[in-house]
Every structure is written in C-alpha cells, then in structure tokens.
Structure 1
Amino acid sequence: MLTENVHIAVPTAFSEDESLHIQGTIDHIRSLYEQGVKSVLVSGTTGEQHSLNLQEKMELINGLEQEEELMDNMEIIFGVSSIRQKEAEELAERIRPTKLAGIMLGYPPYVRPTQEEALIYSEKIIQLSNKPAILYNNPNRTGFDLSAESIIQISKIDLVVGIKDAGSKEKVEHIKSDTHRNDLHFYAGGEEELEEKVLHGYDRLSSIAGNISPAKISQWFEKMLKQQKVTTQESEEIEAIMGQVYQGNAIVNVKKILNQQGIPMGICRSPIGNV
C-alpha cells in the first residue's frame, strides 16, 4: 500500500530539441530523495503525461529500474493513462514486475468515455498492473468527469487506495458515506485552494510546489491535517513559494527554478513554454 501523505509530482525533463531527457528527470528525483522526500509521482501529472508516447514511458521506466537505491527506498508512483486503452494496458503490464510502488490511473483526454466504459478501462488496467492505484479525475484537462457512483464502484477493488481531485465537497461526502472504506484517501492535486480542500476531507497531497521546497510544503500540509496553527513566518514563506510556482504557468516556472539550481530539467514541449 501507499503510506506517504505527500508525494511530489515531478516534471519530466526534455532536451532543447524536446526529446526525452531521462537522466535529468532522475537527477531531480535523486535531489528530492537527498532532501528527505519519500514519495514521487513520475509521468503522472503536470500536464506532460500525454505528450509522452508509449515508448518514451517505457524508456523512463527502464531508467528508473537502474536506480536501485531510489527504487528500494522511495515510493515511486508511475502515471498510467492513454487515449488508447491498449497502450495503457501494455504500460500496466510493463509496470507489474517492477519495484514501482503504485500507479496513478488517469483517464483518456478528448474521447470522453461513458462511465461504464471508464469502469471497464479502470478495472482492466488495475488488474494488469497489480499495483496500488490512485484514480486521477481531471475533467478540466480531459473533458471526462469520473462520477461519484463510478468511484464508489471502482473502490471496491482492494488495490484502489485513493482518488486525486475527486470533485466538489458534496461529491467527496457522497463517496465517503457510500464506500464504507476508512482506508480510501483523497489527494489534492497541487497546493491551490489546499486549505479549503482539507476542510472538505482531502487528506493527501500530490504536490507541485514541493518540487522546489519539499520540506516547507510537507510541513505546511501536515500542520493542516493536524489542525495546528501556522506561524506568520511560515505563512509568508508559503506565500512566497506559491508566488514563484503559480504566478503564470506552474510547470514552466518549476523547470526554470530547477534549471537555475543546476538540475537539468530543460524545457517544456511546445506550445507550453512558448511565451
């Protein structure tokens, strides 16, 4: 099972010609590990997942498997999603024998499957990966909204450990009351409106700002969960971090900061980063 309350959703590194830079991605994960980070999400968020083709995702897994220290000592979650179910299944089968800790199961963009089709998609991929799974509901990006009823149905699978960006307060309450599972976690996608989400029942964080300041973001989130008072100094530090990350395009900002720190994250794939 996945035990960490916070994982860092790491960007994917690309060279100047937009080709995949596996070592840059791994260098960043190692840097986070050396800062005490225990869990990361790779190829699962930051809007880059669907720019990676199946071969690139396979190569990224191959690169991670060479990093025994990271694989043995971190919860490394890998994003599984594709506009074609067959490709998502192939990726899930590749993940199954690895030491990857779990999957973030996303839904196909643009094609907008029915709820019934999404259930079949989910069940098949979870079965093939045989890994703990976080369902990733992101209607703003995909055009598809996994319903509360579908989440309740899929959560009957023991391997399903959580849902990222479940939706409104009412939807979260509906899921919590009808799943009868105390071990189903609700992940907030990023730090924006995080305090409100915690009040609505979110208890885990898929962090973007943690890429540049993992300790401060984790401490801030843990204080929220425990309903502890955040000091004025801590609030000011978080506000500064949020300004660095979320003023403009978050992924562009994160890569710029990491590059300045000497971590070779490179560029984004256009049109992201055009400005």
Structure 2
Amino acid sequence: MLTEKVHIAVPTAFFEDESLNIQGTISHIRDLYKQGVKSVLVSGSTGEQHSLNLQEKMEIINGLELEEELIRNMEIIFGVASIRQKEAEELAEKIRHTKISGIMLGYPPYVLPTQEEAFIYAKRIIDLANKPTILYNNPKRTGFDLSVINIIQLSKIDLVVGIKDAGSQEKVERIKNGMNRDDFYFYAGGEVGLEEKVLFGYDRLSSIAGNAYPAEISQWFQNLLMKPKVSEQECEKIESIMEQIYQGNAIVNLKKILNHKGIPIGICRSPIGNI
C-alpha cells in the first residue's frame, strides 16, 4: 500500500547533449530525502516520460536499486506508460522484481485507444507489475480520457490504490458514488487549482513545486485537507512559489532552480527549453 499523502514528481536529469544523467536524477532524490521527503515519483508526470526510451527507463531502475537507503526508507513510485503496450509490459515485469514501492500507470499518448482497449492495457500491466498502482488519467496530454466505468472497474482490483487527475467535480462524484471502497485516493497533479480540487474530493498530491519547496508545499496541502481556508501569510508564501514555478514552463523553471542549488539536474530535452 502507498501511505504517503504527498509524493514529489521528480524531473529527470539530462546532460548538455540531452543524454540521460542517472546520477543527477538520484542526487536530486537524495537531496529531497535529506529534506524529509518520504515519497517520490520517478519517470512520471513532469512531461519527460515519453522522451525516455525503454532502455533508459530500465537504466534508471537499475540505478535506483543500488540506492539501498533510499529504497529502504522512501516510497519510490515509478511511472509506467508507453505508446506500445509490449514495452510497458516489459517495464512492469522489470519493476515486479524490484523493491520499488508502486507504479503510476499512464495511458498511451496520441494513439487514442478505445475504453475497452485501455482497460485491457491497464489490467495487463497491473498484473505484470504486481505493485500498488495509481492510475494516471491525463487527457490534456494524451488525448485519452479514462471513463468513469473503467475507473470503477479497475478500482475493484486490490492493487489499484487511486487515480491521478480523475477529472471534474462531477466526474469525481460519479466515481465515488459508483465504488464500494473508502481507501481509494484522488491525486491532484501539481498545485494549480489545488484549493478547489481539495474541496470537491482530491485527497492526495503529486507535487511539482515540491521539487524546490518540499516542506512548504507539504504543509500547505496538509492545511488544505484540514480546513477550507489557510492563513493570509501562507497564501502569500504559496502565491510566490506558484509564480516562480508556474509562470512559463514549470519543468524549465524547476531545473533552473535546482541547478542553481547545485543539484546537477541539467537541461530539458528540446523542444522543451528552446526559449
């Protein structure tokens, strides 16, 4: 089971020639761990997952497995998705035999599977990984929107613990009304619109801004869960953080901040970062 209410969706480090920098990625995770972060998502929702080929993802997993302290003391969630189901299956099988805590199961971009095809895709990967699974619904990026019926059906699998970016208030209510479990979680993808999402049922956070401000974002989210309004002082602090991270391209801004701190996170793969 995945118990942490907040995980940080970490960016992938690249060298100047855009090749993979595994140690740079792990250096950032180590730094977050030292700051008290208990859960991270690797190869996930920072928009870089589909720029990584299967071999690169395998290499990141191999690098993580060598980090015994991190693997032992953190919830490490790994993003699993591919345009080709066969490659997602191979990645899932690899993860099954590791101490990685869970997976975030994304849907293929561009190819627009039917709901039936997507259900089979998800079921197959969940079976192969045999890890606690967060479904990741991201129609803005993939063009595919997982249906309420599919979400409810997949929630009947014990390994499925929640969904990231389920959708609107109306959709979340329909999902909740249609399932027979109270241990299914709704993850907000990033901090934009978070206050509103918490009000209509989102109860966990896949954080972007937490890469740079882990303590502040975690405390803000915990406060939002406990009460509908936070203090004016905290609002001003969060507003400043949001401006730094989300004014422009969030992943580009994050990498600038982390590089400035001395974390060798490097550049983005073009065309991201062209400006």
- The bucket for the TM-score relative to the shorter chain is over 0.9
2:275 aligned with 1:267: no
Q: Provide the secondary structure at the position in 2 that maps to 1:158.
A: coil
1:228/1:116 CA distance change after superposition, 3 Å: closer
- Give, in angstroms, the shift of residue 232 of structure 1: 2.0
Distance (Å, rounded) in 1 between the aligned partners of 2:90 and 2:126: 12
Cα deviations across residues 97-132 of structure 1 (Å, max 9, x unaligned)?
A: 111000000000000000000000000000000000
Distance (Å, rounded) in 2 between the aligned partners of 1:222 and 1:102: 22
What TM-score do you get using the length of structure 2 for normalisation? 0.99
**Is there any run of 5+ residues in structure 2 with no aligned partner, and where?**
none
Distance (Å, rounded) in 2 between the aligned partners of 1:252 and 1:57: 21
Cα deviations across residues 147-181 of structure 1 (Å, max 9, x unaligned)?
A: 11110011110000000000011110000011111
What TM-score do you get using the length of structure 1 for normalisation? 0.99
Q: Which amino acid aligns with 2:236?
A: E
After TM superposition, the runs of 4+ consecutive aligned structure 1 residues lying more than 4 A away are none
How many aligned residue pairs are there?
A: 275
Cα deviations across residues 163-218 of structure 1 (Å, max 9, x unaligned)?
A: 00000111100000111110000000000000000011000000000000000000
Q: Is contact 2:244-2:253 (8 Å) kept? A: yes
Q: Provide the secondary structure at the position in 2 that maps to 1:47.
A: coil
2:25 aligned with 1:25: yes
Q: How does 1:210-221 map to 2 (within 5 A)?
A: 210-221=210-221
**Is there any run of 5+ residues in structure 1 with no aligned partner, and where?**
none
Q: Which residue of 2 aligns with 1:46?
A: 46
Q: Is contact 2:199-2:228 (8 Å) kept? A: no
Q: Provide the secondary structure at the position in 1 that maps to 2:76.
A: strand
Q: Provide the secondary structure at the position in 2 that maps to 1:45.
A: coil
Q: How does 1:178-217 map to 2 (within 5 A)?
A: 178-217=178-217
- RMSD of Structure 2 on Structure 1 (CA): 0.6
Distance (Å, rounded) in 2 between the aligned partners of 1:230 and 1:142: 34
Distance (Å, rounded) in 2 between the aligned partners of 1:48 and 1:147: 25
2:144 aligned with 1:144: yes
Q: Which amino acid aligns with 2:164?
A: K
Q: How does 1:65-144 map to 2 (within 5 A)?
A: 65-144=65-144
2:15 aligned with 1:15: yes
- Give, in angstroms, the shift of residue 234 of structure 1: 1.3
